[in-house]
Structure 1
Amino acid sequence: MADMLSVIIPTYNPNETRLAKTLAGLQKQSLPLQGWELIIVDNNSSYLINADLGWHPNYKIVKETAQGLTYARLKGFKEAQGQVLILVDDDNILQEDYLQNALNTFQEQPKLGAIGGKSLPVFEGNPPAWLPEFYSSLALRDLGDEVLAASWDHKYPACAPIGAGIAIRKAALNTYIKKIETQKNVITDRKGDSLSSGGDNDIVLEILKAGWHVAYLPNLVLHHIIPAQRMEAGYMARLINNSSNSWVRLLQSHGINPWPQIAGWTVLPRKVKAWFTYMAWKNNVNYIRWQGACGTFDGLAKQ
């Protein structure tokens, strides 16, 4: 299985139309079907997943009842036979050469533990003019056309792969898997309808701390479907709030949080002050920024 690749799609109550587009993108991959397997991990959905998979000779749908994207990913890691694993969200459409490029990279660069590339938007509706400021929270990014790489430097590298389309050398996951299986306070990432995050960042940090390198590769391109609902100010505010909180707690768990903790009783007055500092009543952008600050305060509060 040295040259085998496994595509893992963790999903919870997927939209059938978007999932079909994700699968259509995989069906068009230049890497021959015999060279990779397809694993869909149903994270305890409330209905049966309906998907056309007959085109692939080596696929399976497995169920993970422990709620949380982290547990769904872990299930996929354990089920995978390949030595290269690619996590694909159920609203990602990979460019036709994605799998082949990822496999080639790992074969050519033995120190790389995880890689990612461009995640470009496909909007279902007209995006508001203010949305680009928050692209990173929607798992959208384009760092240009140069290869960027990083090793462990006691901070989170800007070029680190994002969860959408991250390709991982299976051997680099040993430390992370052991951590998830043995620790009680696990970062569960998305859980049901929650907008918490950080699971992919946790994977990257464990890979870096284990001595592997990570990289951004511009030849890894996927298109990320963004539904109209995710472009609404209310959704974005909740997303930024939850992700800011999760980000602080993630950094704390790895001992690289640059901000001091704060007393719990100061959280409310800080939020009130920030309401005026950000002029949160003025427009959607200011309100969303304020919600991000509130999430940071919650994350920094001593438990």
Structure 2
Amino acid sequence: MANRGITVIICTFNGKQRLSETITHIAGQTLPENIGWEVILADNASTDGSALFAEALWDSCAVKNVPFRVIIESQPGKLYALQHAVKAANYEYIVICDDDNWLSADYLKNAFELLQAMPDVGAIGGQGVPVTDGTFPEWFQHHFSDYAVGPQAKGTGYMRPRDVLWGAGLITKKSLYLKMYNEYPSFLPELGSVSVLSAEDTEYCMRLILKGYRLYYDAALIYHHFIPGAKLTTTFRDEKLLKGFTDANLILRKYYAAMRATIKTKGRPDIWLMLLLIAPLNYIFAFSGKRAEKARDTLFYLLPFRIKADAISTKIKAFLKE
């Protein structure tokens, strides 16, 4: 196990224009002197001098006894940058800070205390406050979660069994993160698209849930999420942001089927039997391919013996038995 302290991980690709406020807010953290911490910038093949800029800025902040390290990940995709940084972390507790997140001054202090107090929790999320350089369009209020802002639950407490946290400001443990991918690397790269790799936060939370860990949301964990005007267009929203979610869902819905079949039926043989009887009927009478797939996958996870299934579902079932 890594040392008991906190590693802040910033993943960036050509984020020079975004990093100033992000790093300044991290430098302003109010942590007790007995809690060690560090910052790792995972530079995902930037070409704008992000790493040199970030190092110079951190030096100018003069944060005493807090190392700032840069690692270079040449393979495109946040997933790869993040996993590289997690492996390089010197501390057990990890805070994932996107390069446009401005952590409140007590974020790391609260993160440490929460993880110390709740050993059964796999990951903790906070509340994002949106900030922009112009004005927010009217439609933005209906897309808070798509931009990782707003509350993640009705109030502070454990998340509902099938709800996940987003990656911005996510708090977790190094040993746990590595454990979730020890035998089975992320399945997202199998889609062959870099854009879906940012959905690694959802996949990670789903793996935690499937392994019996709980997720927690604390409304007092506040960060500001800077969203430039260029990302507040319907073109960016629909063709970049939402399309990435849709593409990633080709794999994520396999996890959801596994969660439906295992979590919902845990300790409830009556529900297990009901789903076992209903799933074949839903498959036979499905009016869309997606509904048929959902029914087939649910049945696959319910049955203790092997039946024919797609490659991803087969791997997820093997992950469950690991």
TM-score between both structures, scaled by the size of structure 1: 0.76
Q: Residue 58 of structure 2 corresponds to which residue in structure 1?
A: 53
Q: Residue 212 of structure 1 corresponds to which residue in structure 2?
A: 213
TM-fit CA distance, 1:144: 6.5
- Stretches of structure 2 that go unaligned for 5 or more consecutive residues are 261-282, 291-322
**Is this contact kept in 2: 1:189–1:197, CA < 8 A?**
no
Amino acid at match of 2:26: L
TM-fit CA distance, 1:146: 2.8
Q: Residue 173 of structure 1 corresponds to which residue in structure 2?
A: 177
Q: How does 1:249-264 map to 2 (within 5 A)?
A: 249-253=251-255, 255-256=257-258, 262=289
Matched, 1:245 2:247: yes
Q: Residue 115 of structure 2 corresponds to which residue in structure 1?
A: 106
- Stretches of structure 1 that go unaligned for 5 or more consecutive residues are 264-303
TM-fit CA distance, 1:185: 5.4
Secondary structure of 1:124's match? coil
The number of aligned residues is: 254
Which residue, 73, 89, 106 being the options, matches 1:80? Answer: 89
Amino acid at match of 1:217: D
Larger radius of gyration between Structure 1 and Structure 2: 2
Secondary structure of 1:9's match? strand
Secondary structure of 1:47's match? coil
Q: How does 1:113-152 map to 2 (within 5 A)?
A: 113-143=122-152, 146-150=155-159
- Identity percentage of aligned residues: 26
Q: Residue 5 of structure 1 corresponds to which residue in structure 2?
A: 6
Q: Which has the higher mean CA deviation after the structures are superposed, 71-80 or 134-143? A: 134-143
Q: Residue 165 of structure 2 corresponds to which residue in structure 1?
A: 161
Amino acid at match of 2:19: L
Tell me: CA distance 1:128–1:5, structure 2 relative to 1, closer, same or farther (3 Å): same
What is the alpha-carbon distance in structure 2 between the residues aligned to residue 196 and residue 106 of structure 1?
26
CA RMSD of aligned residues (A): 2.7
Larger relative helix fraction: 2
TM-fit CA distance, 1:254: 5.5
